[in-house]
Structure 1
Amino acid sequence: MFSFFKSDPSKKLRKQYDALLEQAMHAQRKGDIRGYSMLTLDAENLWQKIQRLEAEKK
């Protein structure tokens, strides 16, 4: 009945995903390729988690 009060968990994860991608971009610009690759891997894992959550919603 009051489902509009519930927060969307994928929305919070998307913000984290965007933050990780931005951190990765800055690491790449600074020349930290290892840091860039680790942040990109973390972002990719988070994206897969987001996709699973959205698939469960449907």
Structure 2
Amino acid sequence: MFGIFKKKTELEKLQDKYKLLMKEWHTLSTINRSESDKKYAEAEEIGKQIEKLKNEAI
């Protein structure tokens, strides 16, 4: 009932970080291409970790 007391799982934390990085990447893509590429690379690494955790859960 009270979701505010629920601890986030590692998967949820990674998904939140991935969403944030993708948002930053999109914003930077129109301003600074090299920085946006760095953010995208970070997001891809997080994406790989998310897939790894999902596969372990199965």
Deviations 1:38-58 (A, max 9, x none): 000000000000000010011
What is the correspondence of 1:1-58 to structure 2 with a 5 Å cutoff?
A: 7-30=8-31, 32-58=32-58
Give me the TM-score of the superposition, normalised by structure 1. 0.82
Instruction: Name the CA distance, whole Å, in 1 between partners of 2:53 and 2:35.
Output: 27
1:6 CA displacement: 6.2
Instruction: Name the CA distance, whole Å, in 1 between partners of 2:36 and 2:29.
Output: 5
Would you identify which runs of 4 or more consecutive aligned residues in structure 1 move more than 3 Å?
none
Judging changes above 3 Å, is the alpha-carbon distance between structure 1 residues 6 and 56 closer, same or farther for their aligned structure 2 residues?
Answer: farther
Listed as ranges, the gaps of 5+ residues in structure 1 are none
Sequence identity (%): 19
Instruction: Name the CA distance, whole Å, in 2 between partners of 1:11 and 1:57.
Output: 13
Instruction: Name the CA distance, whole Å, in 1 between partners of 2:55 and 2:26.
Output: 28
Q: Give the CA RMSD over aligned residues.
A: 1.4
